[in-house]
Structure 1
């Protein structure tokens, strides 16, 4: 905390007065980063639901927003980068962060995926699908250097990010459709 205060040229006592603890300062940084972010997957999902788009389209838009948000550089991706770092190296703030941000995003994708696959799919399979979708976004975000070395044709400019986001959504929707058919056939059999 002292290093942060030195870099910001702020008195440690002032930080303690306003934030009360290192954990609360950390959470305030997440809140600030969230405000800087572009439209989140939740924002996109809410807008597509209001527009009464079909569940598949709602999920596609939410996946593309999630991937794009995680891959962009600068202020727009600060929140995603902070969350990814927190998940890899948890601090004392992880429980509150999970409550404020991770659980709501997980619930959002659980609902969107359930809307696409229908009621026949067991909840534990739906949960694995949620982690698979989010995991793809995290993989692209955290493995960028590997991509540059192994597959330099994958770019992380706006067009490249849009292409990756479309791929992740197409791949995920195709997998979900296959699973939906599989479980629907089992119920019908």
Structure 2
């Protein structure tokens, strides 16, 4: 346990410590006793605040996403007068930051980030509420932006593959960092090149979206 964690109130200290242990060991392997020992609390304290391991795990997930979206809030659905291209640029940049930053989800940089990676690849039941509360609204914002660029409605089925492509590019830079390092080390996401890489994804995606919009007029 770090000095910073040691100074936290008991409940917050348990959540912080549990996030690291769940990320390193997985939900099944992690035990309440090991979390209690690492957080320097007794098992009764965890039971008092959370009830059981399932509820603790759910709380940890919620805390990670709540902090991530509080630090890097999603842009709002497109409203009249807003420039959808600028909104797309901000959406991509903020998603890069939210995924990779330790102040966000910390994918690839912290134990909690490894926990998120586990959930993306093999979702647990606890992740269902996270999807409804955070990820689906995020998707809807992106679809509204794409609709604004294409001059169509957000429920246009052609937009969904575009949305998946954009989300996939953002996620790949964080989740596939070890592979990227072997293939193109200069493209490994860092705080120093985040703006450049995010802008590249924006330009690449915008070109495809405009191509799609042009075909719709043919």
**What's the secondary structure of 2:143's corresponding residue?**
helix
Task: For residue 41 of structure 1, report the CA deviation from its aligned partner.
Answer: 5.0
Q: Does 2:126 correspond to 1:93?
A: yes
**What's the secondary structure of 1:175's corresponding residue?**
helix
Task: For residue 130 of structure 1, report the CA deviation from its aligned partner.
Answer: 1.2
Partner of 1:30: 61
**What's the secondary structure of 2:185's corresponding residue?**
coil
Deviations 1:43-65 (A, max 9, x none): xx24x968954111111111111
Q: For structure 2, which runs of at least 5 residues remain unmatched after alignment?
A: 1-30
**What's the secondary structure of 1:124's corresponding residue?**
coil
**What's the secondary structure of 1:68's corresponding residue?**
helix
Q: For structure 1, which runs of at least 5 residues remain unmatched after alignment?
A: none
RMSD of the TM alignment (CA)? 2.7
Q: TM-score, normalised by structure 1?
A: 0.81
Higher normalized contact order (CA 8 Å, seq sep 6+, divided by chain length): 1
> Which of 95, 106, 117 is the equivalent residue of 1:78?
106
Q: Does 2:39 correspond to 1:11?
A: no
Partner of 1:67: 96
Q: Distance in 2 between matches of 1:11 and 1:113?
A: 51
Asked if the contact 2:177/2:188 (under 8 Å) is kept, the reply is: no
Task: For residue 23 of structure 1, report the CA deviation from its aligned partner.
Answer: 3.4
Q: Distance in 1 between matches of 2:155 and 2:215?
A: 12
Asked if the contact 2:142/2:163 (under 8 Å) is kept, the reply is: yes
Partner of 2:11: none
> Which of 143, 159, 181 is the equivalent residue of 1:148?
181
Q: Distance in 2 between matches of 1:32 and 1:122?
A: 31
Task: For residue 96 of structure 1, report the CA deviation from its aligned partner.
Answer: 1.0
